[in-house]
Chain A
Amino acid sequence: RKEVEQDPGPFNVPEGATVAFNCTYSNSASQSFFWYRQDCRKEPKLLMSVYSSGNEDGRFTAQLNRASQYISLLIRDSKLSDSATYLCVVNSPNQAGTALIFGKGTTLSVSS
């Protein structure tokens, strides 16, 4: 089983749609969780951290369920500019450092 697994893509949605991405992680000792966004042929950039209580940043909402080892990202009112690959990321639970473990990514394409 892969350490971080994400929904297979691609997701093709019209502008204004609501889209949800899901992710599961295998190591229950992981303590930090993130969603990164990566545009085509660019570097990943932090979209938002994910907290147990859930957190929202404008049109983006992230949820974490530690018991199920499940992370989600909800994007409301999709914009053309949301088209990108979304990477689910957890930290590697190792006292020696703060390595990040990435999922394969889910590609979102928003069309007009």
Chain B
Amino acid sequence: DAGVTQSPTHLIKTRGQQVTLRCSPKSGHDTVSWYQQALGQGPQFIFQYYEEEERQRGNFPDRFSGHQFPNYSSELNVNALLLGDSALYLCASSEGHRRNTEAFFGQGTRLTVV
């Protein structure tokens, strides 16, 4: 049973560019959340998707957007990249967006903005 998978694992982008990160949830999971983890910090919640809709959003600007597909996979898009967007982006999947079931994390995508 594959766990949460994310792609790509590493990415280097230039300021002002746009980036798309991808996530496939663990089998049987229907809820996907995205987190940003800067160096030396804990993960910060970006948003959560369930039934192809954004259900909850953290304190991130509109440059951060997402999508969930019918197969529950998800994308995170970041526009107009800033140097401060450099971080590890983590995807987590769980079962049921209102149930506090265990969240499983992918290995993350390490984004570097230069």
Contacts and interface: CB of A to CB of B under 8 A. Distances in A.
Interface of A: 4, 31-32, 42-46, 49, 87, 91-92, 94-105
Nearest to A104: B42
A49 B100 CA distance: 10
Interface stretch (B14-22, B62-70, B75-83, B104-112): B104-112
B72 interface: no
Given A44-B105, A87-B43, A98-B94, 20 more contacts: A32-B100, A45-B105, A46-B102, A46-B103, A46-B104, A49-B102, A95-B98, A96-B55, A96-B97, A97-B33, A97-B50, A97-B97, A98-B56, A98-B98, A98-B103, A102-B35, A102-B44, A103-B42, A104-B41, A105-B41
Given A97-B55, A98-B99, A99-B48, A42 B42 contact: no
A87 B35 CA distance: 14
How large, as a class, is the contact surface on chain B? 20 to 34
A92 B45 contact: yes
B31 interface: yes
Interface of B: 31, 33, 35, 40-45, 48, 50, 55-56, 58, 90, 92, 94, 97-108
Given A43-B108, A46-B102, A92-B56, A101 B41 contact: no
Given A32-B100, A44-B90, A44-B105, A97 B56 contact: yes
B54 to A, nearest CB: 9
A66 B42 CA distance: 22
- For the complex, would chain A's binding face be called helix, strand, loop or mixed by DSSP majority? loop
Nearest to B4: A43
B35, B43, B58, B105 interface centre (most CB from chain A within 10 Å): B43
B99 A101 contact: no
B107 to A, nearest CB: 5
A98 B31 CA distance: 9
A105 B100 contact: no
